[in-house]
Amino acid sequence: MEIIVCIKRVPETADADIVIDRTGRDIEKGGLVFDINEWDNYAVEEAILLKEKYGGSVTVISMGPEEVNETLRRALAMGADQAIRLTDPAFEGSDGYTIARVLSQAIKPLSYDLILTGVQTEDDGYGQVGPTLAEILGIRHAAVVNQIEGIESGRTRVHRELEGGLEEILDLELPAVLTIQTGINEPRYVSIMGIRKVAKKEIKVLGLRELAMKPEEAGEPGSLTVVEMVSFPPVGEGAQILEGTMDEISDKVVTILKEKGGVA
Residues of this chain, 44-73, that bind other proteins according to CB under 8 A: none
**Cα–Cα distances in Å, from 7 out to 23, 46, 56, 100?**
26, 13, 19, 12
Build a one-symbol-per-residue string for 188-207: x at contacts with other proteins by CB under 8 A, - elsewhere.
--------------------
Give the residue among 81, 84, 49, 78 at the shortest CA–CA distance from 64.
84
CA distance 215 to 212: 10
CA distance 69 to 75: 10
CA distance 112 to 96: 22
CA distance 255 to 250: 9
- For other proteins, which is the closer residue by CB, 69 or 132? 132
Q: Tell me, what DSSP letter sits at residue 187?
A: P
- For other proteins, which is the closer residue by CB, 24 or 89? 24
Residues of this chain, 8-27, that bind other proteins according to CB under 8 A: 11, 13-18, 20, 27
Q: Tell me, what DSSP letter sits at residue 79?
A: T
Return the residue of 45, 159, 180, 208 that touches other proteins, per CB under 8 A: 159
Return the residue of 100, 114, 198, 211 that touches other proteins, per CB under 8 A: 100
Total of residues contacting other proteins (CB under 8 A): 86
**Is the Cα torsion angle 194, 199, 76, 132 positive or negative in sign?**
positive
Residues of this chain, 216-235, that bind other proteins according to CB under 8 A: 223-233, 235
Shortest Å, Cβ 256 to other proteins: 6
Query: Is residue 34 involved in binding other proteins (CB under 8 A)?
Result: no
Residues of this chain, 122-141, that bind other proteins according to CB under 8 A: 122-132, 134-136, 140-141
